[in-house]
Amino acid sequence: MTERYQNYVNGEWIDTRTNETFETTDPATPAEVVAEYQLSDGSDAEAAVEAAATAQDEWGQTPAPERGALLREAGSILADRKEELTELLTREEGKTHAEAGGEVQRAIDIFYYYAEKTRDLGGTVKSASGPRTNLYTVDEPVGVAGLITPWNYPIAIPAWKLAPALATGNTVVLKPAKVAPGVAVALFEALDEAGLPDGVANVVTGPGSTVGNTLVTHEDVDAVSFTGSGEVGHMVYDQATDDGKRVQTELGGKNPTVVSDSADVEDAAEIVANGAFGVTGQACTACSRAIVHTDLYDEFVDAVVAQAESIEIGPGDEYDMGPQVTESELEGTLDYIEVAEREGATLETGGGQPEGDRFGDGYYVEPTVFSGVDNDFRIAQEEVFGPVLAVIEVEDFEAGLAAANDVQYGLSASIVTDDHTEAERFVREVEAGVAKVNAKTTGLELHVPFGGFKQSSSETWREQGDAGIDFYTIEKTVYDGF
């Protein structure tokens, strides 16, 4: 029997006002329905915002450690359900069991982290210029936060927006992506079971054109946090800032790994392959460009091709790389592969859909490597969001750094080198919000800021760690003359 999920509004699990629903399917076996959700419209989102606005004052005045205790309890409930949620994530989004389990654990860790951070919330004390005056600051919640999240990390990204918002006393309405909303809804099941007061956290499933638009434009929403495509993100930013809302957007990437002439080729190929083909390349921080010194170029291409060809593709519960999430995502990847060949890139491996009984009608694509790529090719400039790697040859470190920066994005970047001077220069000069040395472009610690440069971000507020708290709080300065 298909699992049926409801919206969570004002402490109740309810159907949408139109009684319309939509289904999710398993990208490994698209004929298999996973679950049914509410196809909400703007009126459902409005009701959720009104509930959040009503609950905000009382929640904001709740002692921060008490808010933290609720987050901690919700994290424990998620931990008890980890295997169940891992399986649901794999079935809806297509990640391997190991990848899905790691993502669920990250959501648990995020809840625990911000639960502990509530003990340190507050302001700062300063020395006043005159006598008999206490001078200090107080951090207050921004208000009602509208959260719009993508399908590619369907529990981790909602968690890293939701947990700091609640920890700092804000109320929230979340709209998860329609493709894989189940594990996001589970966050609210955990919060409900933990005893969260009515209206503090609400989830409404449905399309961005109605639900998402309401969260961006509603007069009672004070802050908007969006992760998704650049095209939509820029519209969200413009609409929300026109209304005076606080906004953060995290958008796409075209992330490079520079391979220096001092690098170990096998190590570099493994680092690049892990960054390019992990989570089927469906990460905003995935490595899509390997920029390789000419002295190592041919050897590196052979090594990374071997890495790609060693990956076993299939359903996520058994294999190294799962399917793409939808047919449209698969078609988009295949279209980019065709474009790369037309532009003159050399297809070294992959480039098509695997054949065999285990693939059925699933949305599978082979890990793909192109050599002979110029940095102005579309395959080197535009986000593909699939397991496709462009290998670019450069004559020296200077050319490699220039190529790394010669894109409109600036999210994550890495270098593989044994030269400490090169590493230091790369970290200083690369135009990316995340810079790594001898590591893959993917993978983030939860207690440090995350965000991009250029078209990868609004460049306003970072997420995660203390930066996550900063976005959801506003500072008041107090002069106390008692």
Active site residues: 284
Residues whose CB is less than 8 angstroms from the CB of residue 135 and which lie 6 or more positions away in sequence, other chains included: 125, 126, 127, 128, 477, 478, 479, 480
Instruction: Give DSSP secondary structure letters for 369-392.
Output: EEES--TTSHHHHS---SSEEEEE
Backbone angles phi, psi at 287, to 5 degrees: -75, 120
Report the C-alpha gap between 479 and 93 in whole angstroms.
Answer: 52
Structure tokens at 152: 């590619």
Q: What is the dihedral of CA 418, 407, 275, 281, to 10 degrees?
A: -170
Q: Are 268 and 259 in contact (CB under 8 A)?
A: yes
Report the C-alpha gap between 415 and 271 in whole angstroms.
Answer: 10
Helix axes 156-167, 64-80, angle to 10 degrees: 160
Going by the DSSP 8-state scheme, the letter that residue 196 receives in this structure is P
1: number of Cβ within 10 Å: 3
Please, what is the Cα angle at 135 between 129 and 141, to 5 degrees?
A: 150
Helix or strand run (H / E) with residue 140: strand 134-141
Rounded to whole angstroms, what are the CA distances from 181 to 89, 150, 226, 363?
A: 9, 9, 15, 19
Going by the DSSP 8-state scheme, the letter that residue 358 receives in this structure is G
Q: Are 303 and 371 in contact (CB under 8 A)?
A: no
Q: Measuring CA to CA, which residue among 191, 63, 158 is closest to residue 118?
A: 63
Instruction: Give DSSP secondary structure letters for 237-297.
Output: HHHHHHTT-EEEEE----EEEEE-TTS-HHHHHHHHHHHHHGGGG-STT-EEEEEEETTTH
Q: Measuring CA to CA, which residue among 110, 82, 100 is closest to residue 445?
A: 110
